[in-house]
């Protein structure tokens, strides 16, 4: 029946059913779509809420961290401000203390200045004229020093230097009290500068040179040294016009040279002259020439033989003439003692010069000259130099007439006695 019923349905009914089916499908889709959009909306809201919550939490953390940093900085700033305040108070207290000390020091300085001014005034009032006394002491000391140099040692240069120092001191003082003393010193200086000065240094140098030459000059007496070297010269001493003199003969070395080596090339025999073919060999001119050449050769041979003999026997045989025979018989020890005695005479002459004893100086020079003339080889260069030096020293003055410094001494004494004490008493 159902089948029949279905078969009996109309197409309209079929369309209605189809439309109903479509509408039901559409309603389902709409419902599903709505449900999906609501879920998506919920999810989106949840994500947004989560993101907003995370952002708020992160922002809160940043804010909290910044707040802690700011709080720490503020605390540090507060601590530093407290410390700065404390230091400022300490500095202020120290400044106040220093100010008080400076005020105290200033007050003490003022008191010290006042005391110093009072003391200086009192000192000037008490020691009025003492400066001039001290200046007078200085000038007097220099004048006395110049007088000592002049009277004790005879050194004019040292006395002039001391007086010039005193004169410069008077110029530096620039006081009318010392005008008279300055004029007196100038007068003494003029006299001293006009006095001839003894050159002690030059005389000492000459005496040292004399001692050196006396140790080198040869004696008349032969010594073992002269025999060993074969260089001593035979000497002849003669007396001429009351003073001994000597002459010596030169000696040659003891080793003779061969005759053939002693002949100079210029002295060799001349070659025989060439005879012209037209001249006879036995002519008179040729014979005279040969005889002259033979005579020259004989003279050369004689000279060579004489030279050899003098060389061989010159150191063995010596001829000496002397006024004092003892001078030729002196031993080696006596020669050494003689030179030592001469050195002692030179030293004594130095002492005489230092003590300005003219008589002793002349005596020592005379003894040295006498011993040199009688005991030494007067022809030797060293002996000649010794005699020349002794003559110069004997003629040299060792003492000159020195002026006195009485003007300067009297002027200083007058200045002292004038009135330094009276001025002090008057004040």
Q: Name the residue with tokens 């559409």.
A: 26
Q: Residue ranges of the chain with pLDDT lower than 70?
A: 1-28, 30-31, 124-130, 222-285, 287, 309-327, 419-427
Residue 176 lies in a domain: yes
Residue 123 lies in a domain: no
Calculated CA dihedral for residues 7, 13, 15, 18, nearest 10 degrees: -90
| 330, HSE (Cβ side, Cα atoms, 13 Å) | 22
Residue 155 lies in a domain: yes
| Distances in whole angstroms, Cα of residue 213 to Cα of each of 107, 249, 369, 386 | 83, 22, 13, 6
pLDDT of residue 52: 87
Residue 115 lies in a domain: no
> What is the per-residue pLDDT across 117-170, written as a single tens digit (0 to 9) for each?
888 877 766 665 567 778 888 888 999 998 888 887 777 888 889 899 988 988
230 touches 254 (CB < 8 A): yes
pLDDT of residue 23: 64
Residue 421 lies in a domain: yes
Residue 406 lies in a domain: yes
Please state, in angstroms and rounded to a whole number, the distance separating the CA atoms of residues 161 and 146. Answer: 8
pTM above the 0.85 mark?
Answer: no
198 touches 399 (CB < 8 A): yes
Q: How many whole angstroms from its chain centre is CA 215?
A: 37
Please state, in angstroms and rounded to a whole number, the distance separating the CA atoms of residues 285 and 299. Answer: 21
**Among 196, 186, 195, 197, which Cα is nearest to 408's?**
186
Structure tokens at 332: 């080696």
pLDDT of residue 347: 93
pLDDT of residue 345: 92
pLDDT of residue 312: 63
CATH number, residue 189: 1.20.120
**Among 205, 206, 234, which Cα is nearest to 218's?**
234
338 touches 219 (CB < 8 A): yes
**Environment class of residue 373 by beta-carbon count within 10 Å: exposed (0-12), middle (13-18) or buried (19+)?**
buried
- β-bridge mates for residue 238, sequence order: 245
Residue 184 lies in a domain: yes
The whole domain housing 191 covers 130-197+402-426
| 16, HSE (Cβ side, Cα atoms, 13 Å) | 5
> What is the per-residue pLDDT across 193-208, written as a single tens digit (0 to 9) for each?
888 777 788 888 999 9
Domains in the chain, number: 1
Residue 138 lies in a domain: yes
- β-bridge mates for residue 244, sequence order: 239
| Distances in whole angstroms, Cα of residue 254 to Cα of each of 207, 259, 316 | 38, 15, 9
353 touches 394 (CB < 8 A): no
Structure tokens at 312: 């061989």
């Amino acid at each position: 029946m159902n089948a029949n019923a279905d078969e009996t349905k109309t197409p309209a009914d079929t369309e209605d059913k189809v439309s109903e089916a479509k509408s039901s499908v559409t309603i389902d889709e709409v419902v599903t779509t709505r449900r999906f959009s609501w879920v998506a909306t919920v999810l989106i809201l949840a994500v947004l809420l989560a993101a907003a919550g995370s952002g708020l939490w992160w922002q809160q953390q940043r804010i909290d961290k910044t707040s802690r940093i700011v709080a720490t900085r503020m605390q540090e700033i507060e601590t530093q401000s407290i410390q700065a305040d404390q230091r400022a108070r300490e500095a202020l207290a120290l400044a106040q203390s220093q100010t008080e000390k400076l005020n105290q020091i200033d007050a003490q300085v003022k008191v010290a200045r006042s005391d110093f001014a009072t003391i200086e005034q009192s000192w000037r009032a008490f020691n009025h004229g003492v400066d001039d006394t001290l200046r007078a002491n200085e000038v007097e000391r220099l004048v006395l020093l110049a007088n000592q140099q002049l009277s004790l040692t005879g050194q004019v240069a040292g006395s002039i230097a001391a007086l010039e120092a005193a004169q410069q001191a008077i110029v530096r003082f620039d006081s009318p009290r010392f005008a008279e003393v300055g004029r007196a010193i100038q007068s003494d200086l003029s006299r001293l500068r006009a006095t001839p000065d003894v050159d002690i240094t030059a005389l000492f140098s000459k005496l040292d040179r004399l001692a050196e030459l006396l140790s080198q000059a040869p004696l008349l007496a032969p010594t073992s040294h002269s025999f060993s070297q074969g260089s001593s010269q035979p000497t002849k001493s003669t007396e001429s016009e009351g003073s001994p003199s000597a002459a010596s003969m030169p000696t040659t070395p003891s080793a003779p040279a061969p005759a053939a080596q002693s002949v100079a090339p210029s002295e060799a025999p001349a070659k025989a002259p060439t005879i012209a073919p037209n001249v006879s060999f036995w002519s008179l001119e040729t014979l005279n020439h040969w005889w002259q050449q033979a005579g020259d050769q004989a003279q050369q041979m004689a000279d060579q033989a004489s030279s050899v003999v003098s060389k061989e026997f010159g150191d063995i045989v010596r001829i000496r003439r002397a006024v004092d025979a003892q001078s030729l018989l002196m031993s080696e020890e006596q020669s050494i003692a003689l030179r030592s005695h001469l050195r002692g005479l030179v030293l004594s002459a130095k002492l005489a010069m230092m003590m300005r004893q003219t008589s002793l100086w002349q005596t020592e020079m005379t003894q040295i000259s006498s011993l040199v003339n009688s005991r030494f080889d007067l022809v030797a260069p060293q002996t000649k130099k010794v005699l020349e030096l002794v003559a110069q020293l004997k003629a040299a003055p060792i003492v000159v007439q020195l002026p006195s410094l009485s003007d300067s001494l009297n002027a200083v004494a007058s200045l002292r006695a004038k009135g330094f004490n009276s001025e002090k008493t008057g004040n």
